[in-house]
Amino acid sequence: MSFLKRNINCGELRDTDVSRKVVLNGWAATVRNLGGLIFVDMRDRYGITQVIFEPEFNPELAEKAKEIRSEFVLWVEGEVRLRSNPNQVIPTGLIEVVASNFGIINKAELPPFPIEDGIETGEETKLKYRYLDLRRPELQRKFIIRNKLYQIVHQYYHDNNFLEVETPVLMKSTPEGARDFLVPSRINKGKFYALPQSPQIFKQILMISGFDRYMQIVKCFRDEDLRSDRQPEFTQVDVEMSFIDRDDIISVTEGLFVKVWKEILGLDIQSPIRRMSYAEAMSSYGSDKPDLRFGMEINHLSSGLMSTEFKVFQDIVAANGLIASIKVTNGASLSRKIIDELTEFAKKYGAKGLAWIKISNGEISSPISKFLTEEQMEFIIRSNDAKDGDLILISSDKRNRALTILGALRLEVARRQGIFEKVKNNFEFLWVVDFPLFEYDEEAGRYFAMHHPFTSPMEEDFHLLDTNPGEVRAKAYDIVCNGAEIGGGSIRIHDNVIQQKMFDKLGLSESEIDEKFGFLIKALKYGAPPHGGIALGLDRIVMILSGTDNIRDVIAFPKTTSGLSLMDGSPSEVELSQLNELGIDLFRKTE
Amino acid sequence: MSFLKRNINCGELRDTDVSRKVVLNGWAATVRNLGGLIFVDMRDRYGITQVIFEPEFNPELAEKAKEIRSEFVLWVEGEVRLRSNPNQVIPTGLIEVVASNFGIINKAELPPFPIEDGIETGEETKLKYRYLDLRRPELQRKFIIRNKLYQIVHQYYHDNNFLEVETPVLMKSTPEGARDFLVPSRINKGKFYALPQSPQIFKQILMISGFDRYMQIVKCFRDEDLRSDRQPEFTQVDVEMSFIDRDDIISVTEGLFVKVWKEILGLDIQSPIRRMSYAEAMSSYGSDKPDLRFGMEINHLSSGLMSTEFKVFQDIVAANGLIASIKVTNGASLSRKIIDELTEFAKKYGAKGLAWIKISNGEISSPISKFLTEEQMEFIIRSNDAKDGDLILISSDKRNRALTILGALRLEVARRQGIFEKVKNNFEFLWVVDFPLFEYDEEAGRYFAMHHPFTSPMEEDFHLLDTNPGEVRAKAYDIVCNGAEIGGGSIRIHDNVIQQKMFDKLGLSESEIDEKFGFLIKALKYGAPPHGGIALGLDRIVMILSGTDNIRDVIAFPKTTSGLSLMDGSPSEVELSQLNELGIDLFRKTE
């Protein structure tokens, strides 16, 4: 099947091209027949150009053009002329091409949904026909943004003397955190490779190798139960530097974001980006990734309620818990039903209940007012700077739980009040720093590394490692944008004795340490430089840049939350001979 | 452990920096104590700077400096001065830094091999201590070249309007060619993902999606028995374009190689690159990837030997086989033993024997001379343009086998004669075009796709598809450099009927086609543009650019030929709980 090759694409022609002879290739986006006059909007990645077949000018051609249907692939030869009714919305809207010849390169069946923006088709259908969904301009724009991001990232780190190095996809399984995807080895039967959850150890090895500055845009894998914003494979911008401290990484990373926001969105990010300690973020926003596009901070109330006679509060105060609140501006108008919904919402985060205070037409109403003195009520209102028409939501609980509940409520209230919609074009960046080194898992009864076990403790907290590990702060940092964590990193341990101690604290036995991380401990003995780095969530960054909440909008061939690719039907059953070769068998349930 | 951060790296200082106060960070590459005067060569990725500790200037410091051992990580503060005995070989050789202060940032055990170029250490040890091997400048240089290549590739395709799109690593298993690596799905027990052997189908889907021009630097995987020049994971530059023909892809690809050779090696590649049909390459060089850095072409002899009475040749002529030869210039001096070795070598390629003719001091000697007339002997000598001192090696066999034998002998002779060593700095590029669409597998008794089943046949050969598939030529092309295939591609089938027919010809049943490729056939029905592309072997290109024959020199963390990573010990056994979660079991042998 031959065709006349284009000499111009469908997004290029302007009014200065009038009278030009051109050849276009593309898809028939829309076909209209107005009394024999046939209009075809030809579409390609670059834009849309209106083509017209005129029976007066060429009756045979116009007759043949009647065959054209939506999504047919065409070549069209013709001459550019001004449109009598220009379309000011698209860049090619001033002109049209009068066809003098054309051919159907390939036909198309009727697509199961229209190839246009803003369609209501269910996601399952769109994923199954991903090749058609990806033709829609709003989706293509997101991948054009994604491509721009790749280019800026490569260029930026190259300009800053980083070397791109590829780390292995087939590596060792070292489950400490999320589950690994495993790959059975055929040559070494009974053994398995794992897909990397991150190239963490390899980038540290590269620093020990003297590569000095490393970066890679790299696929990572986690076999977790998928949430709607997670994918089993995801992409990170992976960075590591030697002979540096935290501020070096922060400043290199900020430089990238400034460049990306400027070049892709034309916006200036305020730099240096604000920093906030983990402690402050939790205390004021109930989150380690606060959304700073709006206020509604948490107000701590315990100090003014020490002498309360309200039993619930008393118990909390006695147990060193926290009483705190957020103010919902103009929230007094919220119905009892909505407050009940918020209470249910809070319970998902472990709340036993939710106290509230409404100020409406000068009247205070609250289920707990009878337990509070006038002074205490006034203290709460003053602490929240609440005015007539406002609502105060109060949580009293163990400190962290109370903060988490209020942090979640803050976002839920913002969602319900349309605040996110109002601030959707704002970008608030934040560094969260001074994370705890460990978090205690009550169920497992042991400490886990909050970031990962290679994160360096702060020197000034070394002495707490043995006595009070929960208080040790890490040289770890996250970068947050609009309440989403878009990157995280740390200064790593470069001293093998401290690394060994860290593994000890995590409850790994000597043989486990040796088995899983022996080669890293060994490498650290041969002259490891001080080093640290960061990993940025590329998918998440593209989501923010392109204004979508759906991660499947920014991944060309995504999986569903059940890990399925609906287009090609993977995962799928394989032939028995393949399994035999790998020396594995499907598990037969014993019951 | 704190340290004074560098303000300059170890490769930067020049004689214009004399008297500058600097801080260096790096590794002690060599330490020499010359009567109390301590010299340390400080090394980092950027170079080497000599540091001197002078007891006269600072006795305490010089005393402390005695602790420094090879590969210790140091910070050194000092002043730049001219060296009394400059080293003209390295860019920093004119100066040294007189230490005024220093610290040991990290100690190092004695490395198992010296960190320097040209060491003889066994590969196993080097792979186990990969982090130390990677410190050696000759290895780092290769990764710096590899990084440059990445940058040029990204930039070049971006400048040419390509979009980088990531295709999935977890995809569907469609074994048709090499073996897939499989990944068991935990959420969908009993089902498996496969790692991509190439993103072939996805890049075609992207063309059907209207992305127009796609590129990606992407990891691919093949679970094959590894040869020394293969790795289970390898990297390709993957490219696809729409609305193009073969010449478009060839010209875009040539542009890349011209740029790469210019920017990395400073060399001008002759463009357009020469093209040769597959038929000619086989006929003249006995290879589909001829090394054109030297001659020694194959000379066809059958035509002059039609009436031979030599039984061996008679049979070949009668069976439509081929008698052909290569000339080994100055080969008459080769001993009988070496000729025997060449005969054994030829047998590996299926030869039954190897005839030869020596011309030495005007005398002709040959085991077959008694079977040939004087005219026939003269014909052979003339056809080979053989002079006194030369050797002619003759193969007579089925056509393809005779050519393959002579092609292999040509390379073996070149190796033995030191020709490769002489031409190692030459670069001869070649496009091999017009490949056959199919190759017949005698064992399987059926045709296989020579490239892959998505390759378009040539229009002019369509009519042969049913009658004589072996003669159908494909719109396929390989790019070859110095006898290595560094890329291959094709124009793809964009018509679903032809694609279906292609699968038929390959003996796939309708249900197999549907099961494995149904989604592609379906996608082709919704308006597929004409498209084609190429995949370039990035590892191989880096090998050629950096002048190594060892693929493990250009992959940061390579596997052995047994698929092992000696550094981290992968693949490894995993915990039973991991297998249980995946619903798989290790195979218990029944015998």
Of B153, B433, B151, B409, the C-alpha closest to B275 is: B433
State how far the Cα of B489 lies from the Cα of B487, in Å rounded to an integer: 7
pLDDT band at A444 (very low <50, low <70, confident <90, very high): confident
Q: Quick one: pLDDT band at residue A588, thresholds 50, 70, 90?
A: low
Q: Are B31 and B40 in contact (CB under 8 A)?
A: yes
Residue listed under structure tokens 């990677």: B134
- Contacts of residue B390, Cβ cutoff 8 Å, sequence gap at least 6: B327, B328, B329, B330, B331, B332, B358, B359, B384
A contacts of B225 (beta carbons < 8 Å): 187
Quick one: pLDDT band at residue A2, thresholds 50, 70, 90? confident
Residue A152 near residue A145 (C-beta atoms within 8 A): no
Q: For chain A, report the end-to-end CA distance as a whole number of angstroms.
A: 59
Q: Residues 507-546, chain B: which have Cβ within 8 Å of A?
A: 519, 523, 525-530
A318-361 pLDDT per residue, tens: 999 999 999 999 999 999 999 999 999 999 999 999 999 999 99
Domains of chain A in start order, with CATH, are 15-106 (2.40.50.140), 139-276+429-555 (3.30.930.10), 294-422 (3.30.1360.30)
Query: Which residues, other chains included, contact A195 with Cβ-Cβ below 8 Å and sequence gap of 6+?
Result: A169, A170, A171, A180, A181, A182, A183, A221, B169, B183
Residue length of chain B: 591
A572 touches chain B (CB under 8 A): yes
* Residue of B115, B193, B204, B460 to mutate when probing chain A, most A C-beta within 10 A: B193
Query: Which helix (H) or strand (E) segment is A429 a member of?
Result: strand A429-433
pLDDT at A125 over 70: yes
The tens digit of pLDDT for each residue in A28-72 reads 999 999 998 999 999 999 999 999 999 999 999 999 999 999 999
Take residue A80 and report the two structure tokens written for it: 């550019």
The alpha carbons of chain A give a radius of gyration, in whole angstroms, of 30
Scan for tokens 């503060």, then name that residue. Answer: B77
The answer for B424, left when phi > 0, alpha when psi is -120 to 50, beta otherwise, is alpha
Residues of B in contact with A559 (CB under 8 A): 168, 170
Helix boundaries (H) for B261-385: 278-285, 311-318, 336-348, 374-383
CA distance A190 to B495: 44
> How many separate helices (H) and strands (E) can be counted in chain A?
17, 23
- Which residue, among A452, A555, A437, A457, has the nearest Cα to A203 in the 3D structure? A452
Orientation angle between helical segments B137-159 and A137-159, nearest 10 degrees: 140
Give the integer Cα–Cα distance in Å for A147 and B582: 35
Interface test with A, best of B2, B4, B243, B539 (most A CBs within 10 A): B243
Q: Collapse the DSSP code of A537 into the 3-class scheme (helix H, G, I; strand E, B; otherwise coil) and give the result.
A: strand
Touching check for B573 and chain A: CB below 8 Å? yes
CB A96 within 8 A of CB A87: no
For chain A, positions 425-444, list CB contacts with chain B under 8 A: none
For tokens 């100055």, name the residue. Answer: B330
Measured between alpha carbons, how far is A32 from B310 in angstroms, rounded to an integer?
77
For chain B, the farthest-separated pair of C-alpha atoms sits apart, in whole angstroms, at 94
Report the C-alpha gap between B196 and B218 in whole angstroms. 10
Residue A371 reports pLDDT greater than 90: yes
d(CA A188, CA B43): 39
- Taking CA atoms, A477 is separated from A174, A315, A451, A492, A543, in Å, by 23, 35, 9, 12, 21
Question: Quick check: B72 contacting A, CB < 8 Å?
Answer: yes
| Helix-, strand-, coil-residue percentages of chain B, each rounded to 5 | 35, 25, 40
Tens-digit pLDDT profile for chain B (591 aa)?
589 999 999 999 999 999 999 999 999 999 999 998 999 999 999 999 999 999 999 999 999 999 999 999 999 999 999 999 999 999 999 999 999 999 999 999 999 999 999 999 999 999 999 999 999 999 999 999 999 999 999 999 999 999 999 999 999 987 666 889 999 999 998 999 999 999 999 999 999 999 999 999 999 999 988 777 789 999 999 999 999 999 999 999 999 999 999 999 999 999 999 999 999 999 999 999 999 999 999 999 999 998 888 999 999 999 999 999 999 999 999 999 999 999 999 999 999 999 999 999 999 999 999 999 999 999 999 999 999 999 999 999 999 999 999 999 999 999 999 999 999 999 999 999 999 999 988 888 888 888 889 999 999 999 998 899 999 999 999 999 999 999 999 999 999 999 998 988 888 888 888 888 889 999 999 999 999 999 999 999 999 999 999 999 999 999 999 999 999 999 999 888 888 888 888 875 543
For residues B433-452, one letter each, b for 16 or more C-beta atoms within 10 angstroms of the residue's C-beta and e for the rest, the string is bbbbbbeeeeeeeebebbbb
DSSP string, A260-283: HIIIII--PPPSSPPEEEHHHHHH
- Tell me the chain B residues in contact with residue A191 when contact means C-beta distances shorter than 8 Å: 571-573
Tell me the C-alpha distance between B536 and B217, whole Å.
9
CA-to-CA distance for A426 and A267, rounded, in angstroms?
Answer: 10
Which B residues, 240 through 279, put their C-beta within 8 Å of a C-beta on chain A? 242-245
Strands B95-106 and B47-53, sheet pairing:
parallel
Beta-carbon separation of A212 and B173 below 8 A: no
B 466-495 → A contacts, CB under 8 A:
494-495
pLDDT score of A590: 46
Which residues 300-329 of B are in CB contact (within 8 Å) with A?
none
Q: What angle do CA B47, B52, B57 make, to 5 degrees?
A: 150
Higher pLDDT, B10 or A444: B10
Strand ranges, E, within B35-94: 37-44, 47-53, 73-82
Q: Given CA atoms A581, A583, A588, A589 in this order, what sign does their dihedral have? A: negative
The pLDDT of residue B590 is 46
Query: Parallel, antiparallel, or unpaired: how do β-strands A299-300 and B299-300 relate?
Result: unpaired
Sheet holding B299-300, edge to edge: B299-300, B322-328, B391-397, B355-360, B363-365
- Rounded to 10 degrees, the C-alpha dihedral A539/A542/A548/A550 comes to -10
- Length of chain A counted residue by residue: 591
Residues above pLDDT 70, as percent of chain A? 99
Calpha distance B449→B517 (Å, rounded) = 15
CA atoms within 13 A on the CB side of B309: 7
Residue B2: its pLDDT value, please? 80
What's the token pair of residue A405?
Answer: 């509940």
Angle between helices B200-208 and B510-524 (to 10 degrees): 40
Residues B567 and B464: their CA atoms lie apart, in Å, by 53
Q: B181 with B195: CB under 8 angstroms? A: yes
A559:B170 CB<8 A: yes
Percent of chain A with pLDDT over 90: 86
- d(CA A412, CA A483) in angstroms, rounded, equals 13
Whether the predicted pLDDT of A589 surpasses 60: no
Using alpha carbons, select from B486, B88, B92 the residue that is nearest to residue B289.
B486
Distance of residue A182 Cα from the nearest chain B Cα, in angstroms = 6
The DSSP result for B87-136, as a single string, is: -SSSTTTTEEEEEEEEEEEE-BPPPSS-SSTT----HHHHHHTHHHHTTS
Distances (CA, A) of A468 to A461, A462, B81: 10, 10, 51
Nearest to A527 among B73, B134, B173 (CB): B73
Best probe of the B interface among A570, A581, A585, A590, by most B CBs < 10 A, is A570
- CA dist B348 and A2 (Å) reads 45
CA atoms within 13 A on the CB side of A256: 31
